Amino acid sequence: MPTVEESLEAQIRNIEEKYGKPLGEWLTIIKNSGKTKHAEIIALLKSEYGMSHGSANRIALKARGADSASIVDAARAAGTDPLEDMYSGKKAALKPIHDVIMMAVAKLGSDIEIAPKNGYVSLRHKKQFAMIQPTTATRIDVGLILKDDPITERLEAGSGFNAMFSHRVRVSTLSDVDEQLAAWLKRAYDLAG
C-alpha cells in the first residue's frame, strides 16, 4: 500500500516524465521568474510550459515549500504523522480500508493533490473532488462532489456530512471499496478537471 509520501513522490516522477524536466529544474525556472505567489506560479507553468492545473499546483506547492509532503515532514519533526494520528486508537483497524481507497485513487491519474489535514485527507484535481475521513471507530466516510448524481441508499446526500460535498459513501469494510465506489471517485475526479 503506498503511503502519502510515496504517492506524492510518484506524482512528482510522473510530472518530471510528462513535462521533460526534473523537479530541480522546475524550481530553478520558478526562482528565476521572480514569481512568488501560488497563483502566479501556476499561471506561469500552465501558460509557458503547458502544464495541467494539477501538475502546476504540485510544482508550485513544492516551490513554495507548502506541499503536503512538507506538512507531513513538519508533523513528523514534531513527533507525529497526520495519517498515523488519524488511524490511531479505536480507528486503527480502519487504516487497511484507507489504504485500499488510496489504491483506487492512485488509478485515477498522476495529477492528484493528496493533502492530509487534521482528521481527513483532501483529494484535488484542479479543485477538490473528494475527501477521506475516518468518522467513527468502524467507518470511513468518503465525501464526493457529484453535482447532478441522484441520491441513493448508498450514495447519500452529503449535506448532513459536510456542506462542501454533494454526496457521501460510508465505508465500513474492505468489500465496500468496490467498482461502484471507484466509478464514483472517477466521476468526481473527471468533474473536477
**For the segment 95-135, what is each residue's pLDDT rounded down to a tens digit?**
999 999 999 998 998 788 888 877 889 898 888 999 999 99
Q: Report the percentage of the chain scoring pLDDT > 90.
A: 47
| Contact (Cβ atoms closer than 8 angstroms) between residue 142 and residue 105 | no
Residue, of 165 and 5, whose pLDDT is higher: 165
Mean per-residue pLDDT, 68-97 = 72
pLDDT band at 73 (very low <50, low <70, confident <90, very high): low
Measure CA of the first residue to CA of the last residue in the chain; give whole Å.
Answer: 26
Q: How far apart are CA 102 and CA 115, in angstroms?
A: 12
Q: How far apart are CA 128 and CA 113, in angstroms?
A: 9
C-alpha cell read off for 62: 513544492
The pLDDT value recorded for residue 96 is 93
Q: Parse the chain into domains and list their residue ranges.
A: 4-76, 82-192
| Contact (Cβ atoms closer than 8 angstroms) between residue 162 and residue 122 | no
C-alpha cell read off for 19: 513535462
Residue whose cell numbers read 487504516: 95
Distances (CA, A) of 76 to 80, 81, 92, 114, 132: 5, 5, 18, 17, 21
Q: How far apart are CA 118 and CA 120, in angstroms?
A: 6
Model-wide pTM > 0.85: no
